Amino acid sequence: MNDTAAVPFRANAITALRDSALRAAMSNAAETFSAKRSDAISGVPIEEWREQASELRLSVLDNLADYVDRFETNATRAGATVHRAKDSKEANDIITETLKDHGVQKVVKSKSMVSEEIHLNHHLQERGVTVVETDFGEYIVQIAGETPSHILAPAIHKDRRQVGKLFAEKLGCEYTDNPTVLATIAKTVLRQEFLSAQAGISGANFAVADSGSIVLFTNEGNGRMCTTVPPLHIAVLSIEKMVPSLADLPKFIRLLPRSATGQALSSYMSVITGTRKSGETTGAQEMHIVLLDNGRSKIITGKYREMLKCIRCGACLNACPVYRMVGGHAYQSTYPGPMGIVLTALLDGMERAHPLLDATTLCGACGDVCPVKVPLPDLLRKLREERVEKGFTPKLEQIGMAAFARAAESPVLFHLGQAAASFLWPIATKIGAKEGLERLSRPAAKTFRERVS
């Protein structure tokens, strides 16, 4: 996905819309998550919390370089080795080298969007390292050879029968469509992987500058396995995940799981600070932390900087009427939905991302649900303006818009255009332009001006 070819969003959306099973699954997911979120925020001072969290995120972004330095100092003091990676290639190389140095052939991995962003699995597998995804949904997607469709429920596009068939085929077990039995099968397979893996790779939901800790939320417990069972732990995270101190965490603990799954807190939340100290029996013997920039230091200086407040809860995906219809795969990007459109434009560039700017109705729902008040509708509007400025709109639209601009300034031309539209309509619909015109409403017999004058 490093290429700059434009995402064929329209074609992807058409395919997705024709898949009725996918549409049912996506809208079920979006509605369920949205309803759970609504329940979870009723009766709590959510507006106050959002405001506080937004302010804190902004103040971190204002001094991000300092927080990153402070984090590095403290994590190093706690026994971790901190690496800085300016882009995907550097991050992948650091991780590969570290694994090679330790002769690691197989790693267990817990869900990390940053690792998806840098295409880590692909990179490692090309270099002969086996990567085992251990989040149940990620595992399903991995053995199916697919990519996640939702940042919280990666395999939401598959129903229980499809998962049952997949397990029977790939794992050689007896077919079942019982989700509990399927989870038990995966647990048994993955337990052996955890116990035999030489290294674990995780992401991080937050990084704490004053203590050098990384913070992970999981419901299944796979994140805890990956970070405590193997002797080597590599955490890969992007630099904007910083929070000042441990005392600041509750502000985000109260918002992240509520906005994501509607829980007051995920089943497991771990604060990991460096390596196992003398007298301790928990913690990796060696820990490497890869801090990924990948364009963020530049984004922070520009007009889209507030996007970096995002804490990856997924609430805007579930709220988005476009995402609900087409699902995550149509965006063909690491991050889908409203936040995904903005991030893809910023990380991959307009050339690749510009068709995604059609995947928004600008209804504002994404901005309303964002726990850290990322002004998503504003950012999407600004990106649309930039798309026009950079000339990424379709030729026909450019001509049409230019013609309309001329006509709107001249009553004579405007009137002429209206007359031409009603005169040409029957002809245009007959000569093959039908496909494009059928979605437009036919010109009125009498124009508005004729009716009121």
Partner 1 sequence: MTREEIINLFVVNVAKVSAEPIRMSGAGELNGAVAGLLTETDRVFCPSITEIEKGLEFSPDKLIQDYVSVSVCVEEAYAAIAETGSLVFESRGGKPVQAGLLCAHHVAILPSGGIHESLDDFFSSLGDTPPTNVTLETGPSRTADIELTLTIGVHGPGRLTVIVV
Enumerate binding residues for partner 1 (CB under 8 A): 25, 28-29, 32, 74, 78, 134-137, 140, 153-156, 158-160, 163, 179-180, 182-183, 186-187, 190-191, 194-195, 210-211, 213, 219-222, 224-225, 228-229, 245-247, 249-250, 253-254, 261, 263-277, 279-283
Kindly state the smallest distance separating residue 115's Cβ from partner 1, in Å: 18
Q: How far is the CB of 325 from partner 1 (least distance, A)?
A: 18
Which lies closer to partner 1 via its Cβ, residue 98 or residue 266?
A: 266
Closest approach, Cβ 218 to partner 1, in A, equals 9
Helix (H, G, I), strand (E, B) or coil at 208: strand
Q: Which two tokens stand for residue 298?
A: 């530049």
The answer to whether residues 217 and 264 touch, using CB atoms and an 8 Å cutoff, is no
β-bridge pairing 106-109 and 199-202: parallel
Of 325, 359, 328, the C-alpha closest to 341 is 359
* Least distance (Å) between residue 4 CB and partner 1: 33
Provide, rounded to whole angstroms, the least separation between the CB of residue 258 and partner 1.
11
| DSSP state letter for 262 | S
CA diameter of the chain: 90
Tell me the backbone φ, ψ of residue 380, rounded to 5 degrees.
-65, -40
The least CB distance from residue 392 to partner 1, in Å, is 37
Q: Which is nearer to partner 1, 92 or 213 (CB)?
A: 213
- Minimum distance between the CB of residue 260 and partner 1, rounded to whole angstroms? 11
Query: Is the CB of 246 or the CB of 413 nearer to partner 1?
Result: 246
Residue whose CB is less far from partner 1, 219 or 429 = 219
Minimum CB distance to partner 1, residue 33 (Å) = 8
Least distance in Å: CB of 323 to partner 1? 16
CB of 267 to partner 1, least distance (A): 5
CA 90, 95, 96, 97: dihedral to nearest 10 degrees? 90
Which of 174, 397 has the CB closer to partner 1? 174
Residue positions counted in the chain? 453
C-alpha dist (Å) from residue 436 to 261, 428, 432, 433: 40, 10, 9, 6
Least distance to partner 1 from the beta carbon of 211, Å?
5
Based on CB atoms, which residue is closest to partner 1, 268 or 414? 268
- 137, 306, 420 from 319: Cα distances, Å: 21, 19, 41
Q: Which is nearer to partner 1, 126 or 169 (CB)?
A: 169
Q: At what angle do helices 136-144 and 179-196 cross, to 10 degrees?
A: 90
- 320 contacts 395 by C-beta, under 8 angstroms: no
* Shortest distance, position 223 Cβ to partner 1, whole Å: 9
Q: Which residue has the tokens 């819309």?
A: 17
Residue 130, SS3 per DSSP: strand
The answer to whether the CB of 149 falls within 8 A of the CB of 156 is yes
Question: Does residue 350 contact residue 392 with C-beta atoms inside 8 Å?
Answer: yes
Long-range contacts of 246-252 (CB under 8 A, 24+ apart): 246/208, 246/210, 246/211, 246/213, 246/271, 248/56, 248/208, 249/206, 249/208, 249/215, 251/49, 251/52, 251/53, 251/56, 252/53, 252/206, 252/311
Q: How far is C-alpha 374 from the chain's CA centre? A: 14
Distance CA 191, CA 173 (A): 16
Closest residue by Cα to residue 12 from 236, 381, 329, 233? 329
What DSSP character marks residue 215? E
Strands 268-272 and 213-218: antiparallel
The secondary element (H helix, E strand) that includes residue 182 is helix 179-196
Which residues, 6+ apart, have CB-to-CB distance to 207 below 8 Å? 71, 213, 214, 215, 237, 241, 242, 243, 289
Cβ proximity to partner 1, 253 vs 308, nearer residue:
253
